[in-house]
Structure 1
């Protein structure tokens, strides 16, 4: 349904995105995940036809976004980060206006508007002026305008930003209800949105796509899901030195008491550690033996699974490190010259 190949966008000497490539299958929800400034909005605007790419291609429903812009726009619903609303209009009046400019036939408008209002749970706000709506309801109106013409593809840029927890849940459930009958891309930097809404994820960092897969596959491939959280008696720094020498241990970090138990607090001479093991290893017994053998009191040890946050941090941190090393090398070359 959506195919992006080697898409790049530059502003003068600044590269916003570089060689972005991914596909979205019909009926799928893809989470386009990345930190602020990673290139998410630039990519969404290119797909929506609001911004031309410098190079590369993007096709939606078989049509090239650049060569067949009008045909593509007829087949997409687009919600930018700030919903494009007219605050002086009523919800129903605004949707009639949008349906007309999106080419919905006069005979179908009433039916499609009612369907969009019902899907977005706006029945009670149908005749309310938009400026009087809460932010959560305005976001629903924004989604309603994106789906009022029943497009096969929907592009949502940060659809839950600025909403309270209850509104986030409502919008999340609305988006999930659209899956199957629509192909959806959600651009976000909020990890729970991806893990709770999307069937697949593309992670972008520094303008480049660094991974594309299901959340579960990414977690298995990158971290193998293996790790331990440990509560000990003793000094954390010394325990970390001991554990780093255990075969199969990838890295060790200190965590707060809240990281292990929300109802506990850190006691004197106690430490909480997270140990991530290397792929294909099970160092649990060796970890316990190393701690006890060097005099630490092992109070608790439990296995934990990697999260999408772990994957995200691993990918984006590695990219930042690579960029930093490149910058250092370039600076040294400049000094030598």
Structure 2
């Protein structure tokens, strides 16, 4: 509240022993000083080098080098920033449930004070993660898929139901073992809900990191499940570590996890490929490309008449269309990959890769219409 003195508004005096309120101008000046102290030129050079190395490894994996080297340099800083943001997203997602569990004050008081607490208290967080993922699969994925009669909907519903029951039973057992160390459970339900929501983040991070964009098989799902269970179980043994130590461990172990996944899945360029997809350099799947008729005829001549019928349409006067996956769109030539029939002996991994002129190529995406009304009519 301000007082009037000679027609001018002045702030009330600060009581004895209280700190004065921060001055916004002084805070802005300190922030600018901190930003000016950052070696931006050095960080830019490091980012450029890291981005060039990452793009070079990716282009080596697809056996292609864009003809315009300046295009690689111009995209290197952006690629480095995306790689850093991707690593940060994975680390935050893995450590996020542990941080939220402590931020909501869910650990028992005895554990927070450093005293001896029952070991059952450490298994409350894994149980809540199971409960959160189970509810997510059951309500947000399995339920809509089941109403629309999509494939594997029943399996997802069953998996979600099992995880929900296991998570609820584990959390109830943990609550029973540590009675009296914290308020009764019905007073902490809103906090438990927040932990369950954050418990879904590790699954999203592992899906982004380990799930292939196309050609996923059942063993990919098994690898993902094993990784997620390792993360969930590890949270039970990190209850006495500070959050910053958990973040440091996740950051240090991230390169080892990426290299292990690359070797296990037989894709050495797993991480560079993910970053290239995030940067828009590579498409995650086969898309429709509109191109000049001359370019379309070039692709048709490389495919042959037997293969061109399903993938190409060059009959129009000026424009043609092709269904292909873009592997690189940097520079004056694009590298595209067109799937071939199973009986075709030529091509690389059942597909034909060729570079085409970038001039005149447009990406076409067809957005499906949203069905109006209620659920699907496929079930009685």
**TM range, smaller chain:** under 0.3
Normalising to structure 1: TM-score of the pair?
0.25
Higher strand share: 1
Give the alignment's TM-score, normalised by structure 2: 0.23
- Asked which structure has the greater CA Rg, the reply is 2
Q: Which structure: greater helix fraction?
A: 2
